[in-house]
């Protein structure tokens, strides 16, 4: 998971990002990351219950990739969900819903 193009554009240039630890069990709505831009600091919530399987340590070094490629190299964490999560969207699904494609 990550943040949307709209979110990165509203945040403006990201200067710092921090993740919860790999292996942490999270409930839906729990904070999994904190992202800071010159404008504000925002928390990012888990869309599903599960376990954090991986975090993108390359964006910690290069936070600008969140602005440049939010749906690609700017990903945040991988969550291994506990159950079925049919309501979750991937980037393409999200863009379809907002009428971008």
Partner 1 sequence: MKFTFASWAEPLLSEIENDELFGFDNKMPSPEGYEPKGALERSTLSIPRISERYLMKHYVNLSQMSYSVDNGPHLLGSCTMKYNPKVSEALASSDGVARMHPLQPPSTMQGTLQILHELERWLAEISGMDAITLQPAGGAQGEFTGMLITKAYFEQKGEKRTRILIPDSAHGTNPASAAMAGYEVVELKSKDGTVDVDLLEKVVDDRVAALMLTNPNTLGLFEEQVGEIARIMHSSGSLLYYDGANMNAIIGKTNPGLMGFDIVHFNLHKTFATPHGGGGPGAGPVGVRSFLEKYLPVPRIRADGGVYTLDYSMTDSIGKVHSFMGNFAVLLRAYVYILMNGRDGLTRNSERAVLNSNYLMKRLSGLYDIPYKGLKKHEFVASASTLKEKSGITAMDIAKRLMDYGIHPPTIYFPLIVGEALMIEPTENLSKQTLDRLASIFNSAAGEDPSVLHSAPHSTAINRVNEVKAAREMVFRWQDMQATADAGAAAEGKN
The residues binding partner 1 (CB under 8 A) are 10, 13, 15-16, 36, 38-40, 63-64
3-state secondary structure (DSSP) of residue 45 = strand
Which CB, 24 or 91, lies closer to partner 1? 24
Provide the 3-class DSSP secondary structure of residue 43.
strand
Q: Which is nearer to partner 1, 63 or 74 (CB)?
A: 63
Least CB distance to partner 1 at residue 34 (A): 13
Strand ranges for the chain from DSSP E:
14-19, 25-26, 31-37, 41-45, 50-55, 77-81
Nearest to 70 by CA among 28, 19, 13: 13
- Comparing CB distances to partner 1, the nearer of 15 and 91 is 15
- Please report how close the Cβ of residue 96 comes to partner 1 at its closest, in angstroms: 25
- Minimum CB distance to partner 1, residue 40 (Å): 6
């Amino acid at each position: 998971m990550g943040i949307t193009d709209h979110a990165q554009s509203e945040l403006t240039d990201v200067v710092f990002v921090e993740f919860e630890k790999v292996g942490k069990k999270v409930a839906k709505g729990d904070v999994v990351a904190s992202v800071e831009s010159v404008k504000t600091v925002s928390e990012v919530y888990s869309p599903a219950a599960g376990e954090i399987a991986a975090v993108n340590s390359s964006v910690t070094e290069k936070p600008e990739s969140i602005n440049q490629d939010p749906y690609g190299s700017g990903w945040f964490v991988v969550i291994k969900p506990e159950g079925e999560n049919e309501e979750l969207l991937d980037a393409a699904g999200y863009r379809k819903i907002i009428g971008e494609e």
